[in-house]
Structure 1
Amino acid sequence: MAYDNSGRADAARRTRARVVEAAREQLLARGWAGTTIRSVAADAGVSRETVYKTFGGKAGLLKAVYDRTLAGDDAPVVMAERPLFASLRRASTAAEAARAYADVAAHIAEEVGPLLRVALSSRGADPQLREFAEQIDAERLAGVRQVVRVWGEHGWLRPGRTPEATADVLWTIVAPTVHELLHTRGWSRRRYRDWVEEALGALVLVRGGP
C-alpha cells in the first residue's frame, strides 16, 4: 500500500500560511527593522527553526509575504493565468487592453502598496532589501515583456519603438515607486487607474487601432 502523505502536506501548507500571515501583520505594523524571525515564529506558534527551514531567513519570508499578497493565495497558478487577468486575456482591441491593464495595475498597486512602502523605504540601508527590490523589479520586467509580446502579435503597439524599449516604458509606468509618488500626492485608486490607461494610450498602445 502506498504511503499517503497528504495530511502532512496539508499541515505544512497551513503552517506556512500562518507564518506568512504573521509576518505580513508584523511588517505592516512594525516595519522591516521591527519584524524578527523570533517574533514571527511566536505569533505563528512555530519554532524559529521551522521559519528558517521553510523560508531561509527574513528576506525569504518577506518575498513569500509579497508573493502571497500579490497573488491573493498560495495556489500554484502563474499570475497571467489568474482570474484577475481574465479581462486582459479577453481584450480584442488596443483600447480594451488599455482599460484591462489599467484595472490590473491599480488592483496590484493597492494590494502590495502598503507592504512595499514598508520594505522599500529601508532598502538603502539593508542589502537584503536591495536584493528584494531587484528581484521584484526583474519579475515585473519579465511580466511586462510577455504582455508587450502579446500586444505586438495583435498589432497594438505604437510604431517607432522596439519591443524591448516598449517593455521598459510599460515597466516604468507601473513601477511601485511611481505609484508611491502619486500616492503621496493624495491620488486615489481611481485616479491612478485612469492615469495608467491614459499613459498606455499615449506611450504604448495605438489609439483607435485594431
Structure 2
Amino acid sequence: MRTPEGRRAYDSLRRTDQAQRTKAEIAQAARRLFTANGWAATTVREVAADAGVAVPTVYAAYGNKTGLALALSDAAEIEADLRAEAAALEAAQGDPPGQLAAMAAFDRRLFERSGDLIAMLREAGRTEPELATIYHDGRRRADAFRAEVFGLWPAGTLRAGVEESVDVYAALCNIDAYLTLTEERSWSADRIETWWAGLLARELLAGA
C-alpha cells in the first residue's frame, strides 16, 4: 500500500513534468510567432493564446518577451547538440582538418534547426538593445570557443594567427551564407557542411 509520502512524491513529479511541458509549449508558441510575425509585432498575450495558457503563466515562466528570447537562444545551442560537437572534437584530437569538420557540422546543425530564430534575434536587435546583446553574446561565445580550439594546435598549423583565423571562420560560416545557399541556391545542408569543411581547411591551415 502506498504511503501518503509516496503519493506526494509522485504528485510532485507530475507537477514538475506539467510545468516543464507548459514552459516548452510557451517557448514553441513564441518561436512560431516571433519567426512568422517578427519580434515587435508579437505580444505576450498572443504567445499565451497560441500556447493555450493564461498571460500570467507566460510571465511566471519567462518573466517577459526578452526572457523568452533568451531561453530560445540558449535552447538553439542545445538543439544543435553541443555534446555531439564535443565528442567529435575529442575524437579528432591531433587532426585539425577533422576538428574543423566537426565545427562545421555543429554550425550546420545550428543553422538548420534554429536559423530562423537567429535571423529574428539579429533583426530585432536593430531596435531592441537587449536582443542585440543576446545575439552578440552568442557570437562572442562562438568566437571564444573557436579561439580556444585553434590555440591548442601546434605552432605553424594555422596560416595566420588565432585572431585572424577566428575572423576568417566567422566570415565563411555564418547564417547569411547558410540562408543564401539553402534558400536562393537550393543547396542541401549536407552539401553546405561538406563545402564548409573543405573550405575552412583550405583557408585556415598552412600548407592545405
Q: TM-score, normalised by structure 1?
A: 0.76
Asked if residue 91 in structure 1 is aligned to residue 98 in structure 2, the reply is: no
Structure 1 distance, partners of 2:194, 2:143, is 22
Asked which structure has the greater CA Rg, the reply is 2
Structure 1 distance, partners of 2:61, 2:121, is 20
- Residue from 119, 122, 125 that aligns with 1:120: 122
Structure 2 distance, partners of 1:186, 1:177, is 12
**1:204 counterpart residue number:** 204
**2:77 counterpart residue number:** 70
**1:76 counterpart residue number:** none
Root mean square deviation of aligned Cα = 3.0
Deviation at 1:17, TM superposition (A): 0.7
Q: How does 1:1-210 map to 2 (within 5 A)?
A: 4=9, 5-72=12-79, 80=82, 82-92=83-93, 93-150=95-152, 152=153, 157-161=157-161, 163-183=162-182, 185-186=184-185, 188=187, 189-206=189-206
Structure 1 distance, partners of 2:156, 2:32, is 41
Kindly, what percent of the aligned residue pairs are identical? Answer: 27
Q: Deviations over 1:53-97 (max 9, x none)?
A: 322211221222233233229xxxxx54x1354333311522322
- Structure 2 CA distance for partners of 1:54 and 1:207, relative to 1, 3 Å: farther
Answer with 190-199 or 130-139: which moved more.
190-199
Tell me the number of residue pairs that the alignment of Structure 1 and Structure 2 aligns: 199
Deviation at 1:16, TM superposition (A): 1.0
Do 2:79 and 2:110's aligned partners in 1 also have CA atoms closer than 8 Å? no
Structure 2 distance, partners of 1:61, 1:157, is 41
* Unpaired runs of at least 5, structure 2: none
- Structure 2 CA distance for partners of 1:84 and 1:97, relative to 1, 3 Å: closer
Q: Deviations over 1:146-200 (max 9, x none)?
A: 33244x2x66831541x34433333443333443455564252244323322332
Structure 2 distance, partners of 1:33, 1:86, is 39
Deviation at 1:37, TM superposition (A): 0.8
Deviation at 1:143, TM superposition (A): 2.7
Structure 1 distance, partners of 2:60, 2:109, is 32
Any idea what SS the aligned residue of 2:126 has?
A: helix
Deviation at 1:15, TM superposition (A): 1.5
Deviation at 1:136, TM superposition (A): 1.7
- Structure 2 CA distance for partners of 1:94 and 1:143, relative to 1, 3 Å: closer
Structure 2 distance, partners of 1:6, 1:170, is 45
